[in-house]
Amino acid sequence: MSLMRQVWLLVLGVVLASLVGSVTVSTGSVRQVLQTQLQIKNADNAAALALALSQQGGDAQLMELLISAQFDTGAYQSVLWRQADGKLAFERHAEPRPSGAPAWFIGLMPIEVQPGVAQVSNGWNAIGSVEVRSQSSYAYDELWRSTLRSAALLAVVGLIAGVLALFVLRRIRRPLDSAVKQAQSVVDGSYAMVEVSRVPELQRLTEAMNAMVQRVRGMFEAQSEQLQVLRLQAHADPLTGMSTRKHFLAELDSALTRDEGPAEAGLVLVRLRDLAGLNQRLGRVAVDQVLVTIAHAVKVYPERVNGCLGGRLNGADFALWLPAPDVARETAQALAEALRSSLPAFGSGIQVALGAVDLPRERPLGAWLGMADTALARAETQPGFTVEAIATRANVDLENQGERAWRVQIVEAIKERRGRLVPYPVLDREGQVLHLECPLQLQLQPQGPYEPAARWLPLAIRSRLTAEVDALAVGLALEAITKDGQARCINIAPGSLLDGGFVARLRELVFQSPPAARKLGLELAEGAAVEHFELLQEMGRQLRPLGVKLGLEHAGAGLAQVERLYQAGLDYVKLDASVVTGISGDAARAAFVRGMLIMLRSLALKVYAEGLSDAMDVQAVWDCELDGVTGPWATARRRPQ
């Protein structure tokens, strides 16, 4: 039983005890008063009757008539006349009058009164005595009414006292609840601050809790800064600060395999020509400055455009991936102009070749690099700052059919619920399925094939249909969970958060299937926490109390850009394939993953690795003590079961 409940019961017990005690004392006092008054009445009436009888000169008939008259006019239970020798000369009796008081009350509060007795005389001679006993039912009636009035009055007073006590207890409980919530926020990793209590006994508690939370928050920020240092050591080129070749290719491969993003993208390769000759003519220091200048020109795009990737492939080569169609040539030309105006300041003979390609995003990584190298080789055959571009048409169906027709097909597929979820397992160390990742496929044509999201999602994003698509996916997931009880996760597009009614629609779906909701996870890309943090936080406040899990996928270096990650209200994080791929042979990369794991575990988050295909990397992930893995390796391991 809680402390507040015990205090409230104590207060209630005291009030009830006081009420019962007060009513009992009041009733006893009134009973004593009524009993005394009834005793006095009996005595007075007996004396008055005896005086009247003494004036009758001993005439028995007149005395009997007088006694009868007195009995009939008063509320008497009995009147007796006894002669001087004690014999009963005359009597009148009446049945006891029924009382309005309950029998248990009469038995609990008896009124015992002795009859009034007075001597009757004839002159100086005593001729007997008269005994008068009044009806006691009237006294019981008055005692009962007095008790009810006292109980009602004291009950009102007790009720007022109880309400005031409840109000005071709530005021006392408020800082205690705040302290409990603050402690829970530390457990959840949100590190909330509370207002210092005005209650002296609780003021030191809240101050100590705030100081502790501030210190823990400082430790988290220090961990974040240390993690940033580890990231630079593991993923960044020491000279330029750009991603190394290994990390850039891992990021690019991960970006090409995701469902979200445009159907077409661009890749630009930048090469500083004759690096060895420049080192001899200009010196290593000057050439390093040239390389840093090229890196700064390339880094402008990843820093300003979400989704762009940049890296240094080797000593003289840089790469820039652009997640947008038909921009590679234009971007390469802009880079060439910028470098043409800045690089000659370091010396003569500096030349740069740029190769640009626009390709469908579904093409494999090798095709991207091969065509970009071809364009770069063509550019190197020409002097100066030269750009060569290659473009391959993508999504011919979209061009032939028309964007509007595709949008109609997507809308119809959503309306008719022509969709299915394709499950991919997330496994723990023992090979048990933690949950299923379930990307959505749509049947755009009735009776036609189910199309993967990479084919129609870019157009759905452009047409602002992601909220309807995600609502369909969540509905299908809840139905599947209800059938087999297996936990499932659905990818939510960042654009869906911008739809004002999307979260309310999800709440309605969740309310319809409460048991299934507790096994439902919603995943958003890391960029959603950076660009739409408040919307992500509100989504968590609305859905997590209903049992829905909330997570970030494709997480990597961008986590350091989330200023209040501890307040995001997340349940788990999935590290991007670019972070964990190659971890088995790279100590720096493994140290970065361990540092990220420590930071995320301090926020009470589960941490998974995604996109793993190599068994050695999986073992290295287990050595880092992550909670689960997904990717081709996990899918292949589960398939035979």
* Residue 30, pLDDT score: 84
The Cα 239–Cα 641 span in angstroms is 49
**DSSP string across 528-567:** HHHHSHHHHHHHHHHHGGGT-EEEEEEESGGGGG-TTGGG
The Cα 565–Cα 370 span in angstroms is 39
Residue 289 has pLDDT above 80, yes or no: yes
In b/e form, how buried is each residue of 164-199, taking b as 16+ CB within 10 angstroms?
Answer: ebeeeeeeebebbebbeebeebbebbbbbebebbee
**Higher pLDDT residue, 209 or 500?**
500
Could you report the per-residue pLDDT of 410-423, keeping only the tens digit for each?
A: 899 999 999 999 99
Using an 8 Å Cβ cutoff, are 338 and 293 in contact?
no
In b/e form, how buried is each residue of 521-534, taking b as 16+ CB within 10 angstroms?
Answer: bbbbbbbbbbbbbe
Domain with CATH 3.20.20.450 in the chain: 398-638
Domain with CATH 3.30.70.270 in the chain: 264-394
**DSSP bridge partners of 451:** 442
Ranked by mean pLDDT, the top range of 199-213, 272-286, 565-579 is 272-286
Average pLDDT, integer, range 123-142? 83
Using only C-alpha atoms, the chain has a radius of gyration, in whole angstroms, of 47
* Residue 458, pLDDT score: 79
**DSSP bridge partners of 354:** 270, 387
Residue 474 has pLDDT above 90, yes or no: yes
Cα–Cα separations (whole angstroms), residue 87 to 48, 79, 115, 599: 22, 14, 18, 109
Residue 330 has pLDDT above 70, yes or no: yes
Residue 396 has pLDDT above 50, yes or no: no
CATH architecture of 3-159: 2-Layer Sandwich (3.30)
357: phi > 0 → left, psi -120 to 50 → alpha, else beta; which? beta
pLDDT band of residue 639 (cuts 50, 70, 90) is low
Cα–Cα separations (whole angstroms), residue 195 to 174, 192, 326, 525, 537: 11, 10, 55, 34, 22
> Residues 6 or more apart from 62 whose CB is under 8 A from it?
56
Superfamily of domain 398-638: EAL domain (3.20.20.450)
* Residue 334, pLDDT score: 93
The Cα 532–Cα 540 span in angstroms is 12
pLDDT band of residue 304 (cuts 50, 70, 90) is confident
* Residue 471, pLDDT score: 93
**Higher pLDDT residue, 220 or 436?**
436
CA dihedral 181, 187, 190, 193 (to 10 degrees): 40
Average pLDDT, integer, range 336-343? 91
For the ranges 52-61, 387-396, 612-621, which has the lowest average pLDDT? Answer: 387-396
Residue 640 has pLDDT above 50, yes or no: no
> Residues 6 or more apart from 137 whose CB is under 8 A from it?
96, 97, 98, 99
* Residue 403, pLDDT score: 65
Residue 394 has pLDDT above 80, yes or no: no
The Cα 531–Cα 506 span in angstroms is 21
Domain with CATH 3.30.110.200 in the chain: 3-159
For the ranges 6-10, 77-81, 119-123, 182-186, which has the lowest average pLDDT? Answer: 182-186
Terminal-to-terminal C-alpha distance of the chain: 48
- What dotted CATH number matches 264-394? 3.30.70.270
